Chain A
Amino acid sequence: MENILEVKELSKAYHGVPALIDINLSVKAGEIHGIVGANGSGKSTLMNILFGNPIVRETGGYQGEILYRGRRIHPKSCGEAIRLGIGMAHQEFALVPDLTIAENIKLGRERTWKFTDRLFGPKYSFVDRKRNAAGAAQVLHKLGLDVDVGIKVINLATNTKQFVELAREIDRRDIQLLLLDEPTAVLSKRDGLKLIEVLMEMSQAGLGIIFISHRLEEVGHICDRVTVLRDGRVVSRYNKGEISISQLARDMIGHRVNKAIAPARDLNTRPVISFRQFSVDMPGEALKGLDLTVFEGEILGLISLSGHGKLALGYGLMGLYPAAGEVIYKHQRIDQMDARANIRKGIYVLPDDRQGLGILPEHSLADNIIFTGNQVKNLFAKNMVRPFGFLDQKKADLHVGQLVDELEIKCTSIKQKIRELSGGNQQKVCMARALTVDPKLLFVAEPTRGIDISAKEKILKLLIDLNRTKQTTIVIASSELDELKRVCDRIAVLVEGKVFKILSPDSPEVEFGLALADEKGNQ
């Protein structure tokens, strides 16, 4: 069989940070090619390049070449990719919410009345609704879904939307290569199987499919070949028959050099906070009825694939998103998720989205460090009528100076604007703010994301020190498994907004890989 797609030595970097490095990949006609990898391994970047997403060009294009049916292509827009016969079903749906199912499926290739075709030309011709509806219903039926195609997409459940998204691509007759980004992530097992059946049928008709999924079992089941990506590189490739789920999981996670290490302990302490049926309505990262108990003085890791809720715990507690359920903190119920009240009680949250939530970019790093402590705990305040009290600048500067030395924050002066600092130093400033607030229970989300290796180790070491010297209980939500394994006493794996399993950091990586992909037991 001929190669429909051939990718040679493809590399791509975002602002100097490599996302893909020398990727080689080919897809034959009639082949289902699986791609697996952890978050940030470069899967989405690869899809964006193949589908001509403009973000690729805006951030400086890519190196390497893409051959499509033997011809060299360079897709600059999604429209161009579609004209070439490439289709894509997106993880976050590309549907028009106010149009009906039929209109969405047929968008851009509506059937029209012959008479008006001739009168006004095909572009301005009237749409034949009935035939479109019938066509759309037929495609959906093939996928095993029988719904009224006149319903607006906005009213549909998530899994139905996924079918509509797929139906739109399947309905195209000119399609030769189909890119599927986690098509089964939002589907139940049964719906997923139905979808897989359709996909296999389509591939037998000569269609090339790139199939991205976190469900390793599915990948092993339907793919003819599987490529594993890690940190932007191809680490391994297996043909059908050689695919083993545990091997895929091991390849996905990989091994790295360990530096900052805290030995795991068996802490027999009292619970400091417990969540019962805790739900947080954070878009794209919701928690749905989580039960979790955190013990005094421990470091607890939270890990999940993106979208499974590890980030939402702290934010929900701070009232950033609507939350429901019961939270007991130090034997007292927390009724209102109010940031001010909870900071006063000794809870603090360091966010994952540094630019969006973590810093005041136009303020100096000194202001950033003291802000929360000053506002909520009235630290460094001159004795005056509150809320109009002034800041005791001398006291504050002294404190900031100490922290800058202690945390080795690189800056020209403590009055330097924080947006001029590097990501690692910004994160250190955030840590310094947490130290200033001096919480009893600290939630940290993705503390090492987007910062260089030496700063990473420093941040991790700070967290360990904080825990060991001040007995601060720390909950770290991170997608970096090896970091969690080094630092934590226990690691909770979250799947679909619930705790799936709590593992010891000494558990083998395969076990984590399997738990993350929601695979029960040893297969």
Chain B
Amino acid sequence: MKLMMNTDCIKPPQIIILIFLAVLLGLAHFLKMDLAGLFNESLIKLVMNGVLVLSLIPMLNAGAGMNFGLPVGITGGLIGMCIAVNFRLAGWPGFLMSLLLSVVICGILGWIYGLILNRVKGREEIAGTFIGLSLIPLMNYFWTLAPFQNRQMLYPIGGQGLRPKITLEPYFYNILDNFSLVKLGALEIPLGLLGFYGLICLGLYLFFRTKAGRAAMATGENEAFARLSGIDIAGARLLAIILSTVIAGIGICVYSQSYGFIQLYDAPLAMYFPAISAVLIGGSTGRRAFIFQAVLGAYLLQTIYLLTVPIANEILIPEITEILRTLITYSIILYALLYRERQRGIGH
């Protein structure tokens, strides 16, 4: 069960974030906001972003660093959804087809991505960032030129090129959110959504119990040890990177069905900082991550996001909470990087 446990004690980032959350909750209560409604929404937000956060775990644990190349997996997922929507597959067939296509496309993209990252061992994070950044303009051409036929996806004028935001309203908007939704008074528990999330967590947990998963984990923890034990280092890392990419593809499908739109063009670039902050907020040092940390981090971060906007609107200084939120998110990435460097310094 060790992957599920948070074995590290609570550290400064968690304390700061918890204090901030407590202050926000206090304010929300003071302003007589609908706490039950906020709680309902926080569960949706958790899964909506949580799958993307989970996608970081295989790479982290295999020693390939935090996946700053998250746009690679997201792009795969977007292509999958666009194809499903192009053929006007609505409801469950549409969503399941999106997932299936995403998994296949992300598998291929992840394989290529992994081959590249294996060549830049030790600098995966910066390489990943730039792979993501350079993939975006390439994909912009694709979105503009690819022969999609569904008029609802295309620019209304001219009829060519995909829109930046494709509505999912007639296809599979909220399909997972509303699946087995249980109402308990004011509380609405999205059992289907949470169940789907739980399945992915369980899948990851089981992966790290398999021989291949153990090899990947050992590679991340002590590569020289793994090599001396006859582990195929490149193979173990490649497997983890493909897995990360595939989960990222699934993650964007879940995100989009909640959000209601497929966001194309530069949108994937806005996704990876929150995901990475979340896993760090959950208590990961950026060397390895437990599933528990990814879940906790995603919940804390998204709840803060959720609370800040209405509170800011209420107290009429819209800037301040937004500024604090950005500040805290990015400071925590910085803190984690510094903390990790220091640990590395002590280790040698």
Contacts and interface: CB of A to CB of B under 8 A. Distances in A.
Same complex for A and B? Answer yes
Interface of A: 315, 318-320, 338-344, 349, 351, 356-364, 367, 371-372, 374-376, 378, 381, 386-391
Contact of B228 (A357, A361, A367, A378): A357
Contacts of A349: 228
Given A388-B210, A389-B210, A391-B211, A360 B218 contact: yes
A378 B218 CA distance: 16
A374 B214 contact: yes
B215 A390 contact: no
- Per DSSP, chain A at the interface is mixed
A388 B208 CA distance: 10
Nearest to A363: B221
A182 B269 CA distance: 56
A229 B214 CA distance: 47
Nearest to A315: B228
A367 B232 CA distance: 18
B176 to A, nearest CB: 27
B225 A357 contact: yes
B40 interface: no
14 contacts: A319-B227, A341-B230, A351-B228, A357-B228, A358-B225, A363-B221, A374-B211, A375-B211, A375-B215, A386-B211, A387-B212, A388-B211, A389-B211, A390-B209
A347 to B, nearest CB: 10
Contacts of A361: 221-222
A377 to B, nearest CB: 10
- Per DSSP, chain B at the interface is helix
Contacts of A387: 210-212, 215
B224 interface: yes
Contact of B218 (A318, A364, A371): A371
A375 B228 contact: no
Contacts of A388: 210-212
A391 B209 contact: yes
B210 A390 contact: yes
Contacts of A351: 228
Interface in B179-234: 206, 209-212, 214-215, 218, 221-222, 224-225, 227-232
Contacts of B221: 360-363
A340 B232 contact: yes
Given A371-B214, A374-B214, A375-B214, A320 B222 contact: no
B213 to A, nearest CB: 8
Contacts of A342: 230
Nearest to B215: A375
B45 interface: no
Nearest to A367: B214
B288 interface: yes
A250 B227 CA distance: 40
Contacts of A319: 227
A392 B225 CA distance: 23
A47 to B, nearest CB: 21
Contacts of B206: 390
Nearest to A358: B225
Contacts of B210: 387-390
A315 B228 CA distance: 8
Given A320-B224, A343-B229, 11 more contacts: A339-B228, A339-B229, A343-B230, A356-B222, A357-B224, A357-B225, A364-B2, A375-B211, A387-B210, A387-B215, A391-B211
Contacts of A341: 230
A320 B230 CA distance: 10
A375 B209 CA distance: 12
Nearest to B221: A360
A386 B212 CA distance: 8
Interface string B227-257: 1111110000000000000000000000000
Contacts of A362: 221, 288
Contacts of A375: 211, 214-215, 229-231
A91 B312 CA distance: 64
B209 A372 contact: no
Contacts of B227: 318-320, 339
A359 B229 CA distance: 10
A338 B232 CA distance: 10
B89 to A, nearest CB: 31
A320 B212 contact: no
B290 to A, nearest CB: 11
Contacts of A389: 210-211
Nearest to A356: B224
A351 B224 CA distance: 10
Contacts of A391: 209, 211, 214
B230 A372 contact: yes
Nearest to A349: B228
B206 to A, nearest CB: 8
Most B C-beta atoms less than 10 A away, residue of A319, A363, A386? A363
Nearest to A368: B225
A356 B224 CA distance: 7
Contacts of A381: 211
A65 B210 CA distance: 59
B12 to A, nearest CB: 21
A371 B236 CA distance: 15
B250 to A, nearest CB: 19
B241 to A, nearest CB: 16
Most A C-beta atoms less than 10 A away, residue of B2, B209, B228? B228
A413 to B, nearest CB: 13
B225 A360 contact: yes
A376 B230 contact: yes
Given A359-B222, A360-B221, A362-B288, A318 B228 contact: yes
Interface string B260-303: 00000000000000000000000000001000000000000000
Contacts of B224: 320, 356-357
A135 B242 CA distance: 60
B115 to A, nearest CB: 19
A420 to B, nearest CB: 12
Contacts of B229: 339, 343, 371-372, 375-376
A376 to B, nearest CB: 5
A283 to B, nearest CB: 14
A396 to B, nearest CB: 11
B148 to A, nearest CB: 37
Interface in B36-77: none
A135 B211 CA distance: 64
A341 B232 CA distance: 11
Most A C-beta atoms less than 10 A away, residue of B2, B214, B224, B230? B230
Contacts of A357: 222, 224-225, 228
User: Which are the 8 A-B pairs with shortest beta-carbon distances?
Assistant: A340-B230, A339-B230, A387-B212, A372-B229, A388-B210, A376-B230, A357-B224, A343-B230
B211 A359 contact: no
A349 B229 CA distance: 9
A134 to B, nearest CB: 41
Contacts of B225: 357-360
A343 B227 CA distance: 11
Contacts of B231: 339-340, 375
A360 B211 CA distance: 15
Interface string B125-152: 0000000000000000000000000000
Nearest to B212: A387
Contacts of B214: 367, 371, 374-375, 391
A357 B214 CA distance: 17
Contacts of A372: 229-230
B209 A360 contact: no
B339 to A, nearest CB: 16
Nearest to B207: A388
A339 B231 CA distance: 8
